[in-house]
Amino acid sequence: MAVSVTILHEARDGAVPRVLTVPAGTTILKAAHAAGIDITATCGGRGRCTSCRVKFVAGTVPPPTIMDEVQLGDNLVREAYRLACQCHLAESVTVQVAPPLDEQSFQILGAGSGAGLDRITLDSGVAKQVVKVALPREEHHQTSDVEALLAAVGLGPTRLPPSLLHALPGALREDPSGVTVTTFGGGIIAVERGDTSSMKFGLAIDIGTTSVVTTLIELDSAEQLASVSSLNSQAVFGGDLMSRIAFAQFNPLNLRKLHTRIIGLLNQHIAEVCRESGVLAKWIYKVVVVGNTCMHHILLNVDPTYVGLAPYAPVMRHALTLPARDLSLKVAPEARVCLLPIVAGFVGADAVGVALATRIYESPEVRIAVDIGTNGEVILGSRERLWACSAPAGPALEGAQIRHGMRGALGAIDRVSVDDDIHALTIGEGPALGICGSGVIDLLAGLLDAGVIDRTGLIQVEGRDALPPRLRERVGMRGEERQVIVLRVGEAGARQEIILTQDDVRQVQLAKGAIASGIAMLQRVSGTPAGRVAELMLAGGFGNYLSIASAQRIGLIPPLPRDRVRYVGNAASLGAQLCLLSEAERARTESIAERIEHISLATHPDFEQVFVESMDFPAAR
């Protein structure tokens, strides 16, 4: 049985409706493509993205498939949107092709504008073209497969890496639709059989001391297809940088262990984002990595020993681009892995990513960007001048080295309020498994206000009688240890008790002391009183919720007016994403890294005093 489908395509100026007659059961996408109508299908028509969505304007709207529900969500499904690749035509209908995704721009954090978000032009540098290569037919010819291919693509003779030669002869001859050639930076990085031109993906990777985040992005639409984060598996060899460097120094084989761990973890991440999105790893052609200097060096299997010894010299600082096979990353073998430049031993490519994403480098007024992390950084400045220092907070604010700490994942307590008792909310609203960074900050802010801990951080076991009864019952000693019971078994569905120990409080004090003193020192060095700070941007992998009020209450950041403080998310990772999507942005990191002036706090005569003062909590408001 034949059915007809009428396709309206508003995006094409002056296009008239096209009426196609096809056998019943054909998908709308196939019908359109067969008729030469251009509907974007980023995932290849496998229900893995939203790019082919159409809106039914006449005829019966078919019931949504599971893919429609997953990809489009309830609202679009109710508005009669469906995925063209999933919709098999049963009767004659009229559909409107959705306007293509805004493919030419990508949101960035705007430090300079009040609006908060700017847009960049997409230009990943990765280009694909389908070519049919004319091979010689007569024996007197004097040419070769490579020459024929390069002539078809229009490139010079040495722009093809030898590793791509292996399968080239078969690819050129065995698919009548030709080959798809991928280029980057003027060279060929992949040759694939048939037409794979719509498959073009990249990864933004943020390697932190404690956490690693990998994000898979479709390069032409900037669509984020999947993102995974996990603990850095090197942590078994030392929670902070110095202990990891010491481990690497101890035995030359240890560096290899650290290197192998991170490569293995990244390959797990790659497998996971590919599984989630349905993207094949061989379609990933560009990878941008940010990380602190030590993580960067270990990723390259470069000895970080001297990064950990005064004068803390990095082995290299320049931006680096190398083929993925050199790092054994399981994406396209010649995919380009781009490492952003480094400023100094403890101000790494992650800080450059933060500076890029926050646009602090073009701000007309002085701003501060604070990247909270085990090896965090503070950047202060404007388009005139930029200073940076390291703020080695340790892993406490990422939920590590805290008794019941955990990353901001399902089951983590991420919001806490304290009145006459402690109230906790978990991510996913299920039973609590532990407490993450934003939860710890909330908790301490609440306990300070309630008088459960004092300015020096001591849990007030002796003074607990002054507390409201329910709160009082949570505060006590267990053996030698002062502690606060955050959740008892059964409270909010918790299957285990979750407590905050005196040692946990000390860890947070060290962490926030490092950051607060970094901010204070940069203000001092640059001569910037609080009144001249136009904005403080708080960055880090806290997920969706971080209470700026709580962060100010515990003294993590200075008491600026609330409208001059903003949480900007994981800015380092966003910087990597910007560089993934735009070669112009990536080029910009070179000058940003050159402009940033590194301030070594340890050698500054005022530092020790400032640090000790920053360890205490602020007085109540």
Residues that bind a copy of itself (CB under 8 A): 135-147, 157-158, 160, 162-163, 165-170, 173, 297, 300-303, 305-306, 310-318, 320, 322, 326, 342-344, 597-600, 602-603
- 20 and 35 in contact (C-beta within 8 Å)? yes
- 437 and 542 in contact (C-beta within 8 Å)? yes
- Residue 177 Cβ, how far from a copy of itself at the closest point, in Å? 19
Whichever of 162 and 561 has its CB closer to a copy of itself, that residue is 162
| Integer Cα distance of 467 and 459 in angstroms | 12
β-pair type (412-418, 376-381): unpaired
Whichever of 18 and 595 has its CB closer to a copy of itself, that residue is 595
- Residue 302 Cβ, how far from a copy of itself at the closest point, in Å? 4
| Integer Cα distance of 567 and 571 in angstroms | 10
Whichever of 299 and 499 has its CB closer to a copy of itself, that residue is 299
- Residue 90 Cβ, how far from a copy of itself at the closest point, in Å? 44
Whichever of 19 and 165 has its CB closer to a copy of itself, that residue is 165
Whichever of 114 and 311 has its CB closer to a copy of itself, that residue is 311
Q: Identify the residue whose tokens are 């070594």.
A: 600
Q: How many residues does the chain have?
A: 621
| Integer Cα distance of 394 and 550 in angstroms | 19
549 token code pair: 């009020």
β-pair type (535-539, 367-371): parallel
- Residue 375 Cβ, how far from a copy of itself at the closest point, in Å? 16
CA angle 374, 380, 381 (to 5 degrees): 155
- Residue 135 Cβ, how far from a copy of itself at the closest point, in Å? 6
- Residue 147 Cβ, how far from a copy of itself at the closest point, in Å? 7
Provide CB contacts within 8 A for 210, sequence distance 6+.
231, 232, 235, 239, 373, 374, 395, 398, 400
Torsion of CA 439, 442, 445, 450, to 10 degrees: -90
- Residue 171 Cβ, how far from a copy of itself at the closest point, in Å? 10
Q: Which of 215, 212, 242 lies closest to 229, judged by CA?
A: 212
Whichever of 70 and 134 has its CB closer to a copy of itself, that residue is 134
| Integer Cα distance of 168 and 28 in angstroms | 35
Whichever of 146 and 581 has its CB closer to a copy of itself, that residue is 146
- Residue 237 Cβ, how far from a copy of itself at the closest point, in Å? 18
Write the DSSP string, 226-252.
Answer: EEEEEE-GGGGG-SSHHHHHHHHHH-H
**Half-sphere exposure (Cβ direction) of 205: Cα atoms closer than 13 Å:** 29
Whichever of 152 and 302 has its CB closer to a copy of itself, that residue is 302
Whichever of 171 and 441 has its CB closer to a copy of itself, that residue is 171
| Integer Cα distance of 155 and 163 in angstroms | 17
b (16+ CB within 10 A) / e for 245-281: bebbbeeeeebeebbebbbebbbbbbebbbeebebeb
Whichever of 144 and 268 has its CB closer to a copy of itself, that residue is 144
- Residue 388 Cβ, how far from a copy of itself at the closest point, in Å? 10
- Residue 307 Cβ, how far from a copy of itself at the closest point, in Å? 8
Determine the angle formed by the axes of helices 571-581 and 583-595, rounding to 10 degrees.
130
